[in-house]
Amino acid sequence: MTVYVFDGTMNGLLTAVFDAFALHEQPQQLLMKGDALPLFCDHTYQVTTDGEKARRVWVGLEKRLPREAMKLISVSWLSELRELNQPLFLYICKVFRHGNIARNFSDVDVLAVTNIARRVLHEQLRMKQFIRFQKAKDGTYLTVVSPDHNVLPLITDHFQDRFNDQPWLIYDARRHYGYYYDGGTVIRVTFEDEAAVPFDLSNGKMDAEVLSSDDALFQDLWRTYFKAICIKERMNPKKQLSDMPRRYWKYMTEKNE
Amino acid sequence: MLTEKTMEKLRILAESAKYDVSCSSSGTVRKGKTGMVGSTVGGVGICHSFADDGRCISLLKVMLTNYCMYDCAYCINRRTNDIRRATLSVSELEEITMEFYRRNYIEGLFLSSGVVRNPDYTMERLTAIARDLRLVHRFNGYIHLKSIPGCSQELLNEAGRYADRMSVNIEIPKEESLKLLAPEKDHQSVFQPMRLIQQGVLENKEDRKRYRHAPRFVPAGQSTQMIVGATKESDRDILQMSSMLYGQPTMRRVYYSGYISVNTYDPRLPILKQPPLVRENRLYQADWLLRFYHFNVEEIVDDQHANLDLEIDPKLAWALRHPEAFPIDINTADYEQLLRVPGLGTKSAWLIVNSRRFNRLTSYDLRKMGVVMKKAKYFITCNELTDGYAVPIVGINELHPERLRPLLVSKTQQKRVAEERQLKLEFEE
């Protein structure tokens, strides 16, 4: 059994594809550094990430796949899931052998990559739905999120388009970075000292001294509205949970009192 | 400027507005503009929250006032009801909308109102708010306006320039029932504004062919709603009405609202222990069949089956009535035929149509793709089932519909239906 080991980056994975074709072999498994090796493993190969090789593979893919399929691959990579590596690797190998198979959903690897990409897209929609801004004294709108997948790059366009006249900051507490929009461009930001930030990373609440004076009122208004709009005779907590899973509640104004 | 009083008013007016079930923020894509705040996304819209009853909160659904001069029996805001009344001032409402929107709480505003003084006066105020939001507050998000029956055409034309969607509720699909419950209203007063809006949209379409920058008129079309279970109408009456409405070029959505006994004292209304949620659900399923599955209304409900079967969904009911249409071969049937298979939705059908160009599909592939085989397996043949020596085929034609049906009805569903049908008697201690 041939096993390739790569460093866990997209470039590493693309290099692995390059090497597999250069060496004329088809590895059965692609592992990340640190993964346990399988029991019967007669040949392991350490992939050395090479930007040039990766670029050539990517360009080759672009020739063989339509743009939407390329986008799906990029999106699936944002999932940061370990179980993506193997199917994505095999999927790309198959594209070079058989051409455009992006819509052959009876292929397990295509299906796996597509499903993971779909999960990421679903979560980016949920971010658009459930992000709740708080207004700071200086007029910046701020929110903290901790999505399962690294979806912030997918949603900045939406928020830039929608709130183009207000500065905002969306901060990912799990991945320790965020995007800040200053009224002109969106920039990626990190904090040197995360403990000193004026908001609570566990529930997204801004400290009282930086919170704008009327923000508490609008939060209360929203909570009041949220309670009033519910029809008691139709209570359906199951439906609510399936559409708005509990893991998002801690950052949501109406649910984190 | 906003005070504790505002909060109370918002609470009262949201409670008055919540029985209008329309919730969508879809139907139009409008990118953000410099100097304006907001955008609309089209597609399925964005639901920003889900209330404890499981319904989505997409727009700020609120009434301007819940004072009303009409006395419609099914409505919580009828003038004879003893409820708390309130009126939001124009500036209050605008400020709430803008601040909510900037915090990403909502997708826009859904504004409705009780009729005060006369229809024109009320519509004038709704229009003023939409105009202010667009011109003063530079709001570019979604606005859904209720059009007040009986208002003038000029007002409608102005409102339509600022609103994304407008709606007039039919409420009761048959005129004689409407007359019974709401003596001051008739169908004419509902269809008239609908026609005017449609006319406006079509004229606007022509204008835009000539002048590309002509301002759009109600770009997201119209919607309406019907109350289910308050009157004697059968599902056939309701669905025929929806089918007729969907035939019009601007009607995008018909909503069904299971009647909730809000005015229990009125002898003209049925006493329901709980709202007819199963029936409402079946109607929505039938509605989806009409809109996305190429069914026509006579196939779903006909003379013998004037009401939808509550225990099974309308597509399964149709399939059981038409065993001659099955089995359908997954590998050769066209998209429309695939849509007729119970358990196959538009998404699964799309996956199948795409994948089978590469290789023949087996039931294993279908399962992997996420097709719900519980129902579908009786209605399809796949690659392996057509083999002579494979698993013996057990489909609808071997089992017969009457023996297949019990296999597909779950106990819990039966219980839910029985609960809804049963009239419960409450004994006092």
Residues B200 and B334 in one domain: no
* Contact check, Cβ <8 Å, A130/B48: yes
> Which residues in chain A are contacts of B103 at CB distance < 8 A?
132-135, 141, 218, 222, 253
Minimal CA separation from B103 to chain A, in Å: 4
Contact A226 B49 (CB under 8 A): yes
Of the candidates A104, A164, A240, the beta carbon closest to that of B358 is on A104
Characterize A138-161 residue by residue with b for buried, 16 or more Cβ atoms within 10 angstroms of its Cβ, and e for exposed. Answer: eebbbbbbbbebbbbebbbebbbb
Distance CA A180, CA A196 (A): 18
Residue B166, H or E segment: strand B165-167
Residues B207 and B353 in one domain: no
Q: What is the pLDDT of residue B319?
A: 94
Q: Is residue B380 part of a domain?
A: yes
Query: In chain A, positions 149-188, which contact chain B (CB-CB < 8 Å)?
Result: 158, 160-166
Q: Are B204 and B327 found together in one domain?
A: no
Pairwise CB contact (< 8 Å): B18 & A229: yes
pLDDT exceeds 70 at position A43: yes
- Check CB contact of A37 with chain B, cutoff 8 Å: no
Chain A residues in contact with B2 (beta carbon < 8 A): 214, 217, 221
Range(s) of the domain holding residue B396: 320-408
CA distance B103 to A132: 6
Q: Which amino acid is at B170?
A: I
Contact by Cβ (8 Å): A218, B100: yes
Which residues, numbered 297 to 316 in chain B, qualify as contacts with chain A under a Cβ-Cβ cut-off of 8 Å?
none
Return the number of CB contacts < 8 Å for A and B.
Answer: 161
Q: What is the DSSP letter of A1?
A: -
pLDDT of the residue at B426: 55
**Quick check: A106 contacting B, CB < 8 Å?**
yes
Beta strand spans in A113-238 (E): 134-135, 141-145, 168-172, 177-181, 186-189
The answer to whether position B107 is within a domain reads: yes
Predicted confidence at residue A208, as pLDDT, reads 86
B201 touching A (Cβ < 8 Å): no
Q: Which residues of B touch A143 (CB under 8 A)?
A: 104
Please report whether residue B396 resides in a domain: yes
Residues B197 and B326 in one domain: no
Residue B259 lies in a domain: no
Domain boundary among B180, B198, B215: B215
* pLDDT score recorded for residue B387: 47
pLDDT at B427: 57
The CATH number covering residue B47 comes to: 3.20.20
Say whether pTM exceeds 0.90: yes
Minimal CA separation from A73 to chain B, in Å: 18
pLDDT of residue B388: 47
DSSP structural state of residue A205: P
Half-sphere exposure in the Cβ direction for B124 (13 Å, CA): 7
Q: Considering only alpha carbons, which residue of chain A is nearest residue B96?
A: A218
Residue type, A205: K
Place of tokens 């995360």: A194
Q: Both B207 and B324 in a single domain?
A: no
Q: Do A218 and B355 touch (CB under 8 A)?
A: no
pLDDT digits (tens, 9 = 90+) for B241-258: 999 999 998 999 999 999
Inter-chain touch B47–A243, beta carbons under 8 Å = yes
Give tens-digit pLDDT for B412-429: 888 888 888 766 555 555
Is there a domain that residue B276 lies in?
Answer: no
Q: What is the pLDDT of residue B201?
A: 93
**Which element (helix H / strand E) includes A120?**
helix A108-130
Instruction: Please give chain B's pLDDT, 429 residues, in tens.
Output: 677 889 999 999 999 999 988 888 888 898 988 889 999 988 788 999 999 999 999 999 999 999 999 998 999 999 998 999 999 999 999 999 999 999 999 999 999 999 999 999 999 999 999 999 999 999 999 999 999 988 999 999 999 999 999 999 999 999 999 999 988 888 898 899 999 999 999 999 999 999 988 889 999 999 999 999 888 899 999 999 999 999 998 999 999 999 988 888 888 888 877 889 999 999 999 999 999 999 999 999 988 889 999 999 999 999 999 999 988 999 999 999 999 999 999 999 999 999 999 988 988 889 888 888 888 888 988 866 544 444 556 788 888 888 889 888 888 888 888 888 766 555 555
- Cross-strand bridge partners of residue A181: A168, A186
R_g over Cα of chain B? 24
Structurally, chain B folds into a number of domains equal to 2
Nearest residue on chain B to A104, alpha-carbon basis: B355
CA of A203 vs chain B CAs: smallest distance (Å) = 16
From the list B243, B326, B319, the residue with the least C-alpha distance to B286 is B243
* Chain A interface test: which of B6, B21, B49, B416 (most A C-beta within 10 Å): B49
**Three-state SS for A107?**
coil
Does A234 contact B36 at a Cβ distance shorter than 8 Å? no
Whether B36 and chain A come into contact, CB under 8 Å, resolves to yes
Taking 80 as the threshold, does the pLDDT of residue A7 lie above it?
yes
Contact B56 A243 (CB under 8 A): yes
Give the start-to-end residue ranges of the domains of chain A.
Answer: 2-122, 131-251
A195 touches chain B (CB under 8 A): no
Amino acid B144: pLDDT: 95
Q: Judge: A234–B55 Cβ closer than 8 Å, yes or no.
A: yes
User: Residue type for B9, please?
Assistant: K
**CB within 8 Å of chain A, chain B residues 38-77:** 38-39, 41, 46-57, 60-62
Q: What is the mean pLDDT of residues A134-142?
A: 93
Task: Flag if A135 and B34 touch (Cβ within 8 Å).
Answer: no
User: Do A120 and A78 contact (CB within 8 A), yes or no?
Assistant: yes
Q: Residues of A with CB below 8 A from B53's CB?
A: 230-232, 234-236, 240
Distance from CA of A44 to the nearest CA of B (A): 31
Same domain, B21 and B169: yes
Does B357 reach chain A within 8 Å, measured CB to CB? Answer: yes
Write out the H or E segment, with its range, that includes residue B124.
Answer: helix B119-135
Residue A140 DSSP SS3: coil
Check if the interface score ipTM surpasses 0.90.
yes
A25 touches chain B (CB under 8 A): no
Among candidates B38, B55, B354 on the partner chain, residue whose Cβ is nearest the Cβ of A162: B38
* Contact list, B367 vs chain A (CB under 8 Å): none
B419 touches chain A (CB under 8 A): no
Q: HSE (CB half, 13 Å, CA atoms) of B81?
A: 22
Nearest CA in chain A to B351: A105
d(CA B393, CA B381): 8
Say which of B36, B103, B355 has its CB closest to residue A133: B103
